[in-house]
Amino acid sequence: MVRVKERVVEIPSGNNRLHAVYHDGGADAEWGMVFCDPFAEEKKCAHRVLVETARTLAVARLSCLRFDYRGCGDSAGRFEDYGPTEWVEDILAAARYMRQQPGIRTVGALGLRLGATMAMQASELHNIFDFALLWEPVVNGQHYLKLNLRRSLMKAMLTDGDEFAGDEVRKQHDRAEVVDFDGYQVTQATREQIGEIDLLQDQTQFAGPALILNLSSRDQVTNEYRELAEEMANAEAVGIVQEPFWNRIGLVSSESVVEATALWLAELQGQTPAGAVTPSRDKQQ
């Protein structure tokens, strides 16, 4: 297998610096991709798949940038001190860094779950991405929070051996300033920001080419993702048979989602010569 050059870099964001890894697509690479990680435990579970994807795309001459949000991974700060507002700023900082790399003229986002959602939020603030790959994006924040709470309830009942533990955790969740989601201390402010997410109601204005991948046990697209694609100017939603690697421990084959991603990008690059997409400019504030 061809090995690509990888280097650790630091990216300024706010008052801190982001830890990042740059996967170099080579001297003639004109396209770049910013990876937007999912939330909390999902980031840890998905790490291997995202690394393999970045390396696969770099071999295909597409430079990739993976980074840790502030308070996450190897970046500075405590997890509980940050939330979606700051992480969207981190995405923007990473995108600007990618645009500054020699030869890079077209920059896109690859986001998973909440990372895909925040990539779209970043695009609403500043037109900084020319295209987007959205893997199983979080469309409704309230529903996403309920799923995370359910996991906390199950953990409480298994740990405490108390059939009433779930009710107690639910009460604590409603009133607590900080709630534990699989070892991550999630503040009330973060939960509120996530809970306000509704991509269908907000009607994202992203105008570039976009691929929404619905990853499940069937190669069908949910109504939610179909509606999201229809609301976007130039998007398609595709169903891929893929085990949800973002909530699994251990090795999970990601061949199907990586292949679908690489094929779409190859077609996009073939249709749009590198550099033909005019680098977006920040909207006037």
3-class secondary structure for 166-220? HHHHHHHHHHCCEEEECCEEEEHHHHHHHHCCEHHHHCCCCCCCEEEEEEECCCC
| Per-residue model confidence (pLDDT) at position 221 | 95
| Per-residue model confidence (pLDDT) at position 273 | 42
| Per-residue model confidence (pLDDT) at position 122 | 94
**Into which CATH architecture does domain 6-139+199-271 fall?**
3-Layer(aba) Sandwich (3.40)
Q: Locate 240 and state its tokens.
A: 């891929």
| Per-residue model confidence (pLDDT) at position 284 | 33
| Per-residue model confidence (pLDDT) at position 279 | 34
- Please state, for a pLDDT cut of 70, what percent of the chain lies above it: 85
| Per-residue model confidence (pLDDT) at position 176 | 72
| Per-residue model confidence (pLDDT) at position 165 | 57
Phi and psi dihedrals of 216, rounded to 5?
A: -160, -170
Q: pLDDT tens digits for 202-239?
A: 877 788 999 999 999 888 999 999 999 999 989 999 99
Which span out of 116-120, 145-149, 185-189, 242-246 was modeled with the highest average pLDDT?
A: 116-120
| Per-residue model confidence (pLDDT) at position 277 | 39
DSSP state string for 79-102: GGG--HHHHHHHHHHHHHHHHTST
Q: pLDDT tens digits for 88-147?
A: 999 999 999 999 999 999 999 999 999 999 999 998 888 899 999 999 999 999 999 988
DSSP state string for 99-148: HTSTT--EEEEEEETHHHHHHHHHHHHS---SEEEEES---BHHHHHHHH
pLDDT range class, residue 253, cuts 50, 70, 90 = confident
Specify the amino acid at residue 83: G
Least confident stretch, 47-56, 101-110, 180-189, 239-248: 180-189
pLDDT at 63 over 70: yes
pTM (2 decimals)? 0.88
pLDDT range class, residue 173, cuts 50, 70, 90 = low
Domain ranges of the chain: 6-139+199-271, 141-196
